[in-house]
Amino acid sequence: MKALLLIAHGSRRQQSNDEVYVLADKLKNNCAEQYDIVHAGFLELAETLIPDGIRQCVDDGATSIVVLPYFLNSGRHVIEDIPQEVNETKPLYPQVDIRIAPHLGASELMMDLLISSANSTR
Amino acid sequence: MKALLLIAHGSRRQQSNDEVYVLADKLKNNCAEQYDIVHAGFLELAETLIPDGIRQCVDDGATSIVVLPYFLNSGRHVIEDIPQEVNETKPLYPQVDIRIAPHLGASELMMDLLISSANSTR
């Protein structure tokens, strides 16, 4: 069972956190052929935190988990904080293959997205 | 002359800010048919700030400017701060059509980008 764990920064503004859950639901519907389980979590400031998000995936039966950082820049959060949280959690589930995906800003599709957003300006 | 002004949050970490300039250069090469001028700027913490970014576009001959927020969530920065900066600058250039594009998280292409990033995990 393959799981996808979308990790956003987390905000004190609940509406921003809710957006991430809505996005994860949409993602679940769009990648059902590739991932059996999709959850969302946050690096800080909001529930669910990364260790609990990983636990949710494992509880749902995940044998592999891709942690997907919903971040644009390769700042400290992407380079240090998320890997640290994930690496500290890994030993709890030695039977599960847990990996971290590249952050979004690294994607080749970002150009298309930027130009599409610019062109949709009213 | 159409201009695109990519606006990121801005970081104390110069490498993150440099990434935004690299992205803007790449964007310039990819949208040359639609936009004659591309600049990057920041909401806070880093140069160039939004008013100076708009001025750069105008100095380069822009008659219209699309301000493109490089933000994932519709938080306070997207809802209030960027529009405020832009609206305070608009009266300086009444001859220029200045508009704000939707933030990236609102794009229909975000699903493709998320799934592509997840699948590129090694």
Contact B72 A104 (CB under 8 A): yes
Whether the pTM exceeds 0.95: the reply is: no
- Distance, in Å, from the CA atom of A35 to the CA atom of B48, rounded to the nearest integer, reads 41
CA of residue A22 relative to chain centroid, distance:
13
The nearest CA of chain B is from the CA of A1 a distance in Å of 15
For B1-122, list the strands marked E by DSSP: 2-8, 37-42, 64-69, 97-100
Residue among B96, B113, B95, B91 at smallest CA distance from B104:
B113
- pLDDT tens per residue, chain B (122 residues)? 999 999 999 988 898 899 999 999 999 999 999 999 999 999 999 999 999 999 999 999 999 999 999 999 888 899 999 999 999 999 999 999 999 999 998 898 999 999 999 999 87
Q: In Å, how far are A48, A67, A82, B64 from A52, measured between CA atoms? A: 6, 12, 13, 47
Residues 63-92 of B with CB under 8 A from A: 66, 68, 70-76
Structure tokens of B112?
Answer: 């493709």
Q: Which residues of A touch B27 (CB under 8 A)?
A: 111, 114-115
Q: What is the ipTM of this complex?
A: 0.93
